[in-house]
Structure 1
Amino acid sequence: MKTSVKLLLAFATAAATIAPAAAQQVVAWDEAYRQADARIAQLTLDEKISFMRGYSSFFFYGVPEKGMPYIYLSDATQGVHMRDNLSDPTMVRQLERSTAFPCPISLAATFNPSLAYRYAEAVGEECRAGGIEVLLGPGMNIYRNSQNGRNFEYMGEDPLLASAMVAEYVKGMQSTGTVACLKHFICNETEFYRRRSNSIVDERALHELYLPPFKAGIDAGVGYVMTSYNRLNGEWAGQNADLIRRILRGELGFRGCVMSDWSSVNDTEKVVKSGQNVEMPGRKEFFGEVRALLKEGRITEKDIEKMIRPNIATSIAFGLYDREKYVPALLEKFPAHKQTGYDVAAEGIVLLRNNSILPLAEGRKILLTGRFTEQIPRTGGSTSSSAEVLGYDNVTLTAALREVYGDAVRVVEKPSREELAAADVVLLSTGTIDVESFERPFALPKEEEAFIRTAVESNPNTIVLVNSGSGIRMGGWNDKAAAVIYGWYPGQSGFTALADILSGKLSPSGKLPMTIEKEFNDSPAKGTMPAGAEFYNKAPRAYNERLIQLYDIDYKESVLVGYRWYETKGIAPLYPFGFGLSYTTFELSKPRAPKVFPADKPLKVSVTLTNTGDREGAEVVQLYVTENAPTVLRPKKELKGFRKVTLAPGKSAVVEFELDRQALAFWDTQSRGWKVNPGEYTLSLGTSSADIAATLPVSVK
């Protein structure tokens, strides 16, 4: 029996078309701006100046007596950060708890946009319960550099995957009345002295890789955008008029409020004239500098009004000034939120290697050891990090495994070779804690690396469990391990999902949203840190900017990021983009599509996916496009469609894609627009960027 699964993919800016969906926007933009003008006319000059910057660290300014209350903003993408450093904690009733969800890169590994909606909806409901109007997420920078300490906050290396997930995240979040904020705009792919970096990025890379996820979020109706710390081609992003006015407002059509990242700008006149709407949280000298600029005639009161207008209009558009601040009834949904966290972890866990040891049957002696047996591997590493979400009812790895395997699980902190060899199975937990403001080495510490090697050499039934926010070096032990599982930062229920996958209750279905290279020197980001620079791991060092000069990051790989780089350059990675194993097997039929791309309608491509194994499972069908004789540098292939399909054993489904002609386009620097060359193209269908089952030629007239 066959079922049919359709996927419409139209590409307006090299990203999936997102149907306009201004979720929970209660006032249309034109009317919101008209009302904003009326409100601004009631403000004194001092009040207008106050709206130009944050009221405090996590509030927008307000004038409650004029019907404009203060607006509360909270981190982060993967749940509600419980702040203990609010400058005026009496302004809100803090939540007593918040759900710790798996990190966003784990969400991306599900390749399931509907889960992104559920995930964000749950976070948004907790925000509404706690009086939080704006959630400072989703994070959506591109995974260019595996050493970046914030990769865990983002959606991977591919702009189509990131766009699809971000669009549903925005819709899910804003369906609750909590307004999302896209960050960090733009090309902020490093954390090494991030306030000192200058990203040098060409026009094609900007449009083909880095802008599409933002475009997708904007098309989904997002209310806020946060600019980034770095310079872009020489100017700080938060005071860059070309970036904010021409690209964000003009090309992407954003009508909401732009805020700076915290303490990321320095030139008040440029800030006022750049299109920036709120300097966050605001420098102490800000008010004096604005008044001096007014006195000198370098800015006018009209300039101030133009700056604050989108901030006030966005609050009006989303009804933030005219609603009950707290919705305590939503606290009853915590059990459903916990289930959503479990579901995301279950679908995001990636099985990278399995020599048939998994699923792991009961009745075997299990030696559990390693880094995260009793510790929940949380992103951020401390409550001072914006991404830290503590969660509640946290389930440790030890507890989750004992729930399934009982007393067969023995925890040994530092096992000897003899103890390792004597176990039926060794479960070894390893990984990293990635942190905002820090880079970290691709390689694990030498002691950790040696421990893993000892384990896999002592016992061939060693299963390595990795928790990290991005790729790590695994070449020294990967081939000797019986199995390798990537579990990311799993949130409060993720280890329960992992235990269910180990036992076979669930079949793994996660796919890598990024490439894992063999060595960092294989990566296009290998020169990101300045020559001679050293990693640091202490906050005082991270924020002491006098220790380093401004430095350039040359995105010289241009449009070749991730699998685009490795495939085009002929560099074999350890694990390719889109890869992930299952406990069942799948087969793709020969695909079907017209040989000539229609002139006035989408190209329809269909392929049959069959579960050829003996148990239910899910597979991600991936569609890539190649221009056979490009006139400019283009990747060997580019992801242009994907679909996750769950099938019972022996069942089949027809997966249909519809490709708009724009799926073939590249950014033309001459016309400063999208261009499709006539000629021959190849469509490739498979289950990862490297595992292509079939190809089809198609001509474009």
Structure 2
Amino acid sequence: MTAHTPPAPLFRDTDQPFAKRIDDLLSRLTLDEKIGFLHQFGPSVERLGVAAFRTGQEALHGVAWMGPATVFPQAVGLGATWNEELVRRVGEAVSREARAMRARDERVGLNVWAPTVNLLRHPLWGRNEEGYSEDPKLTSAIATAYTRGLRGDHGLYWRTAPVLKHWLAHNNETERDTTSSSVRPRVLHEYDLRAFRDTVEAGAVAGVMPAYNLVNGRPNHVSPYLRTQLRAWTDQDLLVCSDAGAPSNLVDSEHYFDTHEEATAAALRAGVDSFTDHGTDSTKIIGRVAGALQRGLLTEDDIDTAVRRQLSVRFRLGEFDPGADPYAGEQPFDTPEHGALALEAAEQAVVLLKNDGPLPLAPDSRVAVVGLLADECKLDWYSGSLIHRSTPLEGLYERFGAERVEFAEGVDRVLLKTSAGAFLHVPPAPDAPEAARGAEGALDPALLAGRTDLPPLTAGPAGTELALADWGDGVLTLRAPDGRYLSVAEDGYVRASADQPGGWIVQETFRLEPHGDGHLLRHVGTGRHVQVAADGVKVAEEDPEVFELVVAERGEDAVGRAAAGADVVVVVAGNDPHINGRETEDRTTLRLPAQQERLLRAARAANPNTVLALVSAYPYAVDTADLPAVLWTAHGGQAAGTALARVLAGDVSPAGRLPQTWYADDADLPDLLDYDVIGGRQTYLYFEGAPLFPFGHGLSYAAFSYGELTADVTGSEVRVSFTVTNTGDITADEVPQLYTRAVDSSVPRPRRELLAHRRVTLAPGETSELSFVLPLSAFAFWDVAVDRWRVEPGAYELLAGASSEDVRARATVTLDGEPAVPRAVLARGLDAAGFDEQSGVEIVDRTRAEGDAVTPVAGKDGELLFRDCDFGDGVTEVTVEVSGGGTVEVALDGGSVLAALSPQAPTPGPYDHITLRASCTAVDGVHDVRVRLRGPLRLARVGFSG
């Protein structure tokens, strides 16, 4: 440093701790600069040499939306591996590619929005593909592994900064920004919070993203749990990033606040630090924050708190220390190691559901591979662009030789005939370069996606035979012979111009609607019908064309021919991740689409030796009784086809395990909006029916035996051990699982609950001894009587085996625990949402800021049950805190009414609670209390006094 060189500011001093450097930088920023940082696209501060910063880079199973990258299996597929070390390595590879991509494109962010830890409570949820499991223990284990890989292993600097999605109790896409998840305290703590908590406490999480929905009547973006739960779990600064558009939803769709200034201030005070709203336009958020400051709804300290959390992440990412950042300049991208890891992950994700003999395939097998997904490598909304791809057909060609593999896609080949007798015709792409043509001269559809310069469809005497695929619920895709999907561009014309269905609004899907003697063809994306006009085929509001559907070949016929001449048939069925079950769209049924069921029946009729390979983002209810073998894998990324072929051929013994229950029928499912897993008997934890395939299920080409399970209680731990032996003749993986069950609990507890698991590789005859050390807290439940965790004294069964239902060894331990105590209602009263059981009620918000109340479901009377309430020496008065209008009845035990209380008139609003009092017959001792609610009122609390 010379006499003319000013000293570097403290925030640039790498010898100082981050906290002191953050304080220094924060003190140098003006109020306007700090407000600017609150939007997702934070501007640069050139006078301080601070670069622009964007929160958010999608990286669920590879770097997404930023061009070519290594694509790993979907998250639910990574969950199916039950292999934390593998998933950690996947996270590390993704973070390395994020760094490499950022080195050449500054739009690639290092604050990655992944993983999704929402629990897969309901298999009809459209975003099932994004989560890991229905079980909080497995979800947190896999999520923790992924975040550790994303974070890196340096003690100070992070390779990327993971943000968990989506806080909280979010499992429906239907009206997702206005529906409220009613979550009672036990479900909140034992289920929904648990996956987030364990992952945050592991120390590799930079923040969370609130979900669009409301919980107990309050939007997640103003959730008090961000303060009372999330930030109480760690001393680390956590960055809370809003979901896209959610801050505006607080006013626009949810009508929770009257003005955007109020909403923005409430979200900021609740703990939201970065507002993802209005795309790259930050002016709206800046204006709302400024307006909130002027109205006194915010202070500069509130803004400083949020900016400090943002800066904490930026310092950890090494932004201000380029010379010291150990990850700066990393370039590993699309390496052979990453490709091998993608294949390994895809192989480990395959689950063998049933095998009565045909698998693995004999080396000299003649294989027919058929089905809508047989020659597909599908991507989802959060995938990167494929650099490499493999389909099941390609994998089987490679493994068995093209001469031994027969293929039939099974789509219907159709012509669309107009009322004038003409046929829809797909013009060729006249300007397609030679590079866009394959070996047979066909167009490479990957080079056509998004083009609008191609000519639209026409109608004439020579029609084009189209491949029609029905993806369920009547949703169709139509594809030209050269592979181009029919799509509708912004100008409304129908062109063959897409490589695959995709996009936020899919423009490649249609419906055939019966109309007279023919059909109307409705475009799903615009809702308009197809019209044949002089200047080409388009969608329009008027003059829809009535088409005759001329079937040139049924898909079943092609499948039957291919199947008849084969030794074994592999039917590859499943979903397209952009259709009928995705973000913004829940599924309506567990069943396979009717067209795929017909193909499966046709294959089975032609050849009994039929294997069903399901490639899907979610479970199905499939009749497997007459199928000798069934497999499932999530969409497996770039190596999906090779992995499936290697498992079918026996090069790899399958060892994936189901991360969620597969139900046998739609009738087994609760309502999509019923978030009470306890009362609704949901997931493997509580489901009392017979599943199609249970949680944790998965078969192997080897066999395994389990030795005696021993369990010892030592101090605050339970030590468990047992052996597993490979009794087969090949090396294979097994996934031993350890569960527990409270033998005689005083409250409803899980039928069994996962405590631990481990994926192990065993050679033939090899034995492995597995040991687990479990804290006593693993056996606790949330006791609503005392509002905290409690281990109940008594017997607990420990169950080891190959799935939640395939138990091979067991033992019982007795835990001293903490005895139950009656509710001290004189001292604490009864919070309405702290019930033991309920019928006909939902939990709502006590105020906009905090607290819960209970209200009857519309059109019903509600009832709450509180067990073992201690009235001490006696009470003679009942009080209730209510809003609205109606009647509260407080009764004891078998039904004797202590008091009935009603407001003289409904209160002005839902948050205008009043206290009502009534004398009652003297009551002492311990009793159950029943509270009945009639009318549109909200009950916050019941109190008693002498």
Q: Distance in 2 between matches of 1:281 and 1:122?
A: 30
- 2:275–2:285 CA contact under 8 A, matched in 1: no
Report what 2:720 is aligned to. 605
Instruction: Considering Cα pairs closer than 8 Å and 6+ residues apart, tell me whether 1 or 2 has the greater RCO.
Output: 1
Mean alpha-carbon deviation: is it higher for 279-288 or for 108-117? 279-288
Partner residue of 2:629 out of 480, 483, 495: 483
Q: Which amino acid aligns with 1:105?
A: V
Give yes or no for contact 2:126–2:173 (8 Å, CA) kept in 1: yes
Where does residue 421 of structure 1 map in the other structure?
564
What residue in structure 2 maps to residue 512 of structure 1? 658
Q: Is the 8 A contact 2:70 2:334 kept in 1?
A: no
Corresponding residue number in structure 2 for 1:183: 165
1:633 maps to: 748
Distance 1:375 1:418, change over 3 A: closer
What fraction of aligned residue pairs are identical, expressed as a percent?
A: 32
Distance verdict in 2 for CA 1:688–1:214, change over 3 Å: same
Tell me if the contact between 2:711 and 2:719 (Cα under 8 Å) persists in the aligned partners. Answer: yes
AA aligned to 1:190 is: N
Which one of the candidate residues 434, 439, 444 is aligned to 2:586?
A: 439
Match of 2:270 among 266, 269, 274: 274
Q: Is the 8 A contact 2:100 2:333 kept in 1?
A: no
AA partner of residue 213 (structure 2): N
What is residue 110 of structure 1 aligned with on the other side? Answer: 81
Structure 2 residue 290 is the aligned partner of structure 1 residue 291: yes
Q: Is the 8 A contact 2:725 2:767 kept in 1?
A: yes
What is the one-letter code of the residue matched to 1:39? Answer: L
Partner of 1:40: 26
Give the corresponding residue for 1:261: 243
Superposed displacement of residue 317, structure 1? 3.2
Q: Does 1:160 align with 2:133?
A: no
Measure, in 1, the Cα distance between the counterparts of 2:387 and 2:692: 36
Q: Equivalent residues in 2 for 1:311-326 (5 A)?
A: 311-323=310-322
Counterpart contact for 1:365–1:409, Cα < 8 Å: yes
State the SS of the aligned residue for 1:352. strand
Between the two proteins, the alignment pairs up a number of residues equal to 619
1:564 to 672, 685, 702: 685
Alignment partner, residue 35 of structure 2: 49
How big is the shift at 1:418? 4.7
1:560 shift after superposition: 4.7
Contact 2:374 2:573 in 1 (8 A): no
- SS of the aligned residue for 2:595 comes to helix
Partners of 2:290 and 2:274 lie apart in 1 by: 17
> Within the alignment, does 1:402 sit opposite 2:545 as a pair?
no
Equivalent in the alignment of 2:640: 494
Match of residue 430, structure 1, among 566, 573, 576: 573
Return the alpha-carbon distance in structure 1 between the equivalents of residues 610 and 597 of structure 2.
14
Match of 1:218 in 2: 200
| Residue equivalent to 2:692 | 574
Match of 2:704 in 1: 586
Distance 1:678 1:522, change over 3 A: same
Residue number in structure 2 paired with 1:100: 71
Deviates more, 1:308-317 or 1:105-114: 308-317
* Equivalence for 1:340: 341
Distance between the aligned counterparts of 1:333 and 1:238, measured in 2?
37
Q: CA–CA distance in 1 between the matches of 2:294 and 2:790?
A: 49
Amino acid in the other structure paired with 1:505: D
- TM-score, normalising length: structure 1: 0.85
- The alignment partner of 2:91 has SS state of helix
**SS at 1:273 equivalent:** helix
CA distance in 2, matches of 1:588, 1:284: 63
Q: Say if 2:386 is the partner of 1:391.
A: yes
Q: How far has the Cα of 1:284 moved from its partner?
A: 5.2
Change (3 A) 1:236 1:593: same
CA deviation map 1:264-322 (0-9, x unaligned): 12311211211111111357532222222222222222222223221112212332333
Aligned pair in 2 of structure 1 residues 148, 77: CA closer, same or farther (>3 Å)? same
Q: What is the alpha-carbon distance in structure 1 between the residues aligned to residue 317 and residue 790 of structure 2?
A: 36
Show structure 1 runs of 5+ residues with no match: 1-25, 84-95, 381-386, 529-552
1:466, 1:104 → 2: CA distance? 16
Shift of 1:696: 0.5
> Which deviates more from structure 2 when the two are superposed, residues 170-179 or residues 687-696?
170-179
- C-alpha distance 52-111 of structure 1, shift in aligned 2 (>3 A): same
Deviation, structure 1 residue 646: 1.0
Code of the residue aligned with 2:585 in structure 1: it is F
Alpha-carbon distance in 1 for matches of 2:43, 2:396: 49
CA distance in 2, matches of 1:187, 1:489: 25
- Distance in 2 separating the partners of 1:668 and 1:512: 30
Residue of 115, 122, 129 corresponding to 1:145: 122
User: How far 1:61 moved relative to its partner?
Assistant: 4.0
Change (3 A) 1:68 1:232: farther
User: Taking structure 1 as reference, are residues 372 and 64 closer, same or farther at Cα in structure 2, changes over 3 Å only?
Assistant: farther
Instruction: Report if the CA contact (8 A) 2:79-2:142 is conserved.
Output: yes
Q: Deviations over 1:96-152 (max 9, x none)?
A: 620010111111111110001100000000001112311110111000111112111
The residue that corresponds to 1:235 in the other structure is 218
**Which secondary structure state, in structure 1, belongs to the residue aligned with residue 308 of structure 2?**
helix
Distance 1:472 1:252, change over 3 A: farther
SS at match of 1:119: helix
> What is the rounded CA distance, in whole Å, between the counterparts of 2:366 and 2:677 in structure 1?
51
CA shift for structure 1 position 365: 2.0
**CA-CA distance at 1:554 after TM superposition:** 4.4
**Higher Cα Rg: structure 1 or 2?**
2
- Which SS does the other structure have where 1:470 is aligned? coil
Separation in 1, partners of 2:13, 2:230: 22
Q: Contact 1:352–1:483 at 8 Å: present in 2 too?
A: yes
> Which stretch of the first structure deviates more once superposed, 64-73 or 337-346?
64-73
Q: Deviations over 1:586-617 (max 9, x none)?
A: 000121123xx22x242221111111111111
Distance 1:70 1:611, change over 3 A: same
Counterpart AA for 1:213: A
- CA distance 1:40–1:252, change in 2 (3 Å): closer
Classify 1:233/1:45 alpha carbon distance in 2 versus 1 (closer, same or farther; 3 Å).
same
Residues 379-404 of structure 1, C-alpha deviations (whole Å, 9 max, x = no match): 23xxxxxx122221111221111001
Within 1, Cα distance between the matches of 2:195 and 2:52? 30
Change beyond 3 A, Cα 1:27–1:272: farther
The CA deviation at 1:333 is 5.8
Give the gaps of 5 or more residues in structure 2. Answer: 1-11, 103-108, 153-157, 251-262, 410-554, 817-946
Distance 1:603 1:292 in 2: 56
Decide whether aligned partners of structure 1 residues 416 and 337 sit closer, same or farther in structure 2, where only a CA change above 3 A counts.
closer
Q: Distance in 2 between matches of 1:252 and 1:327?
A: 27
Q: Which has the higher strand share?
A: 2
1:480 is aligned with what amino acid? Answer: D
Distance between the aligned counterparts of 2:273 and 2:17, measured in 1?
A: 19
Q: 1:375 is aligned with what amino acid?
A: E
User: AA paired with 1:44?
Assistant: T
Q: Shift in Å at residue 556 of structure 1?
A: 5.7
Correspondence for 1:22: none
SS state at 2:751 partner:
coil
1:285 aligned counterpart, secondary structure? helix
State the shift of 1:46 in Å. Answer: 1.5
1:525-567 superposed Cα distances (whole Å, 9 cap, x missing partner): x343xxxxxxxxxxxxxxxxxxxxxxxx54364595411122x
Aligned mates of 1:66, 1:694 — CA distance in 2:
64
User: More displaced, 130-139 or 108-117?
Assistant: 130-139
Return the alpha-carbon distance in structure 1 between the equivalents of residues 24 and 68 of structure 2. 39
**Structure 1 residues 556 and 429: CA distance shift in structure 2, 3 A:** closer
Distance in 2 separating the partners of 1:311 and 1:427: 51
AA in 1 matched with 2:135: D
CA RMSD of aligned residues (A): 2.2
